[in-house]
Amino acid sequence: MVVVGAGAGGLAAAWRLTAAGMRVVVLEGGREYRPERDYPQDQDDFQLRAFPFDPVEDERGKPRFAFGPAQAIGPAWDDYRSRNAAQGRFVDGDRRQYQVYSHVRGVGGSTLHFQGEAHRFHPDSLRMHTLFGAGADWPLAWEELDRYYAIAERRIGVAAPDNPLRPGGGPHLLPPHPLSYASRQLAHGFTSVGATLRANALAILPRPFDRRPACNYCNSCTQGCPIGDKGSADVTFLPAARATGRLDLRTGAQAVEVGVGRDGRCTGVVYREPGGARVRVAARWVVLAAGAVETPRLLLCSRSRAHPDGLGNGRGQVGRNLTESLTWTSVALLPARVDSFRGVPIDGSAWEFAVPHRGDGWVGGFRLATAHGAAELRGPSAYAQRLVPGFGAAHARRVRETFGHAVAVLAVGEWLPNPDTAVDLDRWRGDAAGMPLARIRSALGENERRLLRTMADTTREVLRAAGAGEVVEQTSALDLFAAAHVLGTCRVGSDPEASVADAEGFCHGVANLAFADGSALPSSGCGDSPFLTITAMAIRTADRLIERARRG
Amino acid sequence: MRADKPEKAAVEGGAPPPTASRRDMFRIAVGAAAVAAGLAVLRRVLLPGSLDADGRTTLEALLDTLLAGEGVPDWRSTGVMPRLADELAARRQGRRALVEGVAWLDARAREAHGRTFRALPPAARAAVVASAERSAPGSLPHYFYRVVRDRAVELHYAHPSVWRPLGLPHAPQPEGYPDFAEAPPG
């Protein structure tokens, strides 16, 4: 069998399949990173080093993704646009800007630069349509998902607190990380808005586990974890899959087409090697796990007599229902130094507003978090460039006075599907292999705008009540598309007219094609990170595949 | 075909070309001037030049203004200039911003103080830079200020001789920050 994509879902599925005795070829378009070389975090100029993403351009200098129309913002939303004290607005003009699709192409995928958040979705997040008439219901019971959460947590090593707002868990969970000193200074602010700041649920090790070391709190998760305590897929699922001896991981292997026989079933995958040669891998089963942008692109590019509009796209559902994480971050300065550059990037979280409900003109919900590392406040460079305005002697003095005082509060909210947010193919631009580029179209619906306003106001109130000064930086999904958590473009569902895959994660009408990435998730989870849910769903689909394969 | 042969033969035979009239000469001159002007504009847009020695001195004076401060290490020791100049030179838009931005500084300095930017005393230089900072978003001085100021301070404060005295003890690895749950020292 072939798995396309070596990210969280692809490697989780590959681990489960190989552990069950299957031989699996994993095709990964990117490379295998080497932490000690690619992101050691020990250089004197560490502040200038971001995660070494593959360039956003391909080897010809052409972009890897295309973007659709930019949404108009409107003057009524000026107070909710991205800006900081030193540089002003991030986006000139009155249209939302596609900044980046924050996607890592390589072994481990986006878990290489994620911040370790390992959340369980609330049970009601699986029933948004039933409860609120919004989005789509999941075609499975939360209790089944709960079993797979536990399997994933045991494999990864997840540190999490008892959390009455997120049922499940158990003795397999590792003890939570203590809150940082900086985050504890904000606890009162959270209380003032009716929330409780708890330790976050994290795939970051508080003690050695499975031959991996404990975290030393360097706060560099987004730049890449150099010591292996963060539970990225390359240090959790990959070694276990390799240990079976049944994994064949091919890097630099860009899948260009899923082959289809006369009977409409998949026959394998064609991939392109870096030199341009095309290689065909025959397979009885194909699992797509290239992410919610590349997976629909591959389907739409795989046209055949049996599937003239793209594989699995007989009802035009492939690429629709894209959802993102709606994000807002407020940064302010506390009166005293707290050195928030220490710890883990998002160490505290509050789920009181992250239980699906009706709010002020919106449905869904949002999670609050302390996110000093996520706001990239790792050293004085960020203060000098972004938080302290001006130049010269007064600027230098103010940087000296304020360094170590900044704290960040993040809000992440539900994004409901809408017709203007989707992935399709760019008609005019292609990649080096001749495949049309994936085109990302993104626009906030009225629900997202109103929810974003509530999120922004709440983070500001948390900071104000905690005694912080005025907000010196705010980053908003209103005017910036910078999504990392993209979901839903091949969602599972009971109704083939409104979904791409069935309840077990297999393509409607193509029985030997399955999905094991964020594209399969029908909703975005009320502000929770989707990482754990993607891995849990991938393992579940792998189990169903094993059953089907054994039945013949 | 037959009618062409005598004409060709006449030219090959050395007959003098027809003399251009004054009007023709005028047209040619105007056309050449238009082409030259167009090429100059194209060259300016497509191939903006690099800074000359005076321009480089002006840029150094700008960095002196941006990165001044008591107890702050000299930017000449933190590697700002070569990296900033290289980055700007690598992009057409950057080269253009640099050349035109430096020219704007001098023009503004002459307008307000009657001297080039580099010839001004520190306070007058700061006033010129402040006017760039306050200029309208999207304008040349605003863009130039943003590009140079933002990258210069980022590069400068990324140097260990600048960040260590501010109380950041070391790079994130290999030690990490195991004291993260405690109040900062001091």
Q: A311 phi and psi, to 5 degrees?
A: -65, 125
Residue A168 pLDDT: 87
Q: Which residue of A has its CA nearest to B162?
A: A380
What is the distance between the terminal CA atoms of chain A, rounded to a whole angstrom? 13
* Positions in chain A short of pLDDT 70: 55-56
Longest Cα pair distance anywhere in chain B, in angstroms? Answer: 102
More confident residue, B44 or A280: A280
What pLDDT was estimated at residue A62? 80
**What pLDDT shows up at residue B17?**
42
pLDDT number for residue B8 = 35
* The length of chain A, given as a count of residues: 552
* B133 neighbourhood in chain A, CB within 8 Å: 390-391
**So what's the pLDDT on residue A385?**
98
Q: What is the reported pLDDT for B29?
A: 73
What pLDDT is recorded for position B16?
41
Chain A nearest CA to B119, separation (Å): 18
Distance from the Cα of A369 to chain B's closest Cα (Å) equals: 17
Whether residue B129 and residue A338 make contact (CB cut-off 8 A), yes or no, is no
Cα separation, A398 vs B46, in Å, equals 40
More confident residue, B45 or A156: A156
Q: How many beta-carbon pairs below 8 A join chains A and B?
A: 140
**Mean pLDDT, residues B135-160 taken together:** 96
The verdict on a CB contact (< 8 Å) between A396 and B70 is yes
Q: Which pLDDT belongs to residue B40? A: 58
Alpha carbon distance A477, B143 (integer Å): 24
Nearest-by-Cβ selection for B70 from A181, A383, A393? A393
The CA–CA distances, whole Å, from B112 to A222, B56, B124, B125, B126 equal 47, 21, 9, 10, 12
Q: How far apart are CA A24 and CA A63, in angstroms?
A: 31
What are chain A's domains? 2-38+56-551 (3.50.50.60)
Alpha helices in A406-466 (DSSP H): 446-465
d(CA A77, CA A195): 26
The amino acid occupying position A380 is P
Answer whether B175 sits within 8 Å of A216, measured CB to CB: yes
Tokens of B47: 């191939």
- A380:B68 CB<8 A: no
Helix axes A8-19, A531-551, angle to 10 degrees: 40
> What residues of B are in contact with residue A179 (Cβ under 8 Å)?
181
Across the interface, do A403 and B138 touch by the CB < 8 Å criterion?
no
Q: Are strands A513-515 and A286-288 parallel, antiparallel or unpaired?
A: parallel
d(CA A386, CA A87) in angstroms, rounded, equals 6
Write down the ipTM of this complex: 0.94
User: Is the pTM above the cut of 0.80?
Assistant: yes
**Residues A223, A193: contact at Cβ < 8 Å?**
no
Give the model's pLDDT for residue A85.
98
Residue B122, min C-alpha distance to chain A (Å): 10
A149-202 tens-digit pLDDT: 999 999 999 999 999 999 888 899 999 999 999 999 999 999 999 999 999 999
- Report whether pLDDT(B13) > 50: no
Q: Which three-class secondary structure state does DSSP give residue A157? A: coil
pLDDT at B11 over 50: no
Q: Which residue in A169, A155, A157 sits closest to A203, CA to CA?
A: A157
Task: Find the CB nearest B171 among A44, A87, A403.
Answer: A44
Yes or no: say if A510 and A266 are a contact pair by the CB < 8 Å rule: yes
| Residue B3: per-residue pLDDT | 36
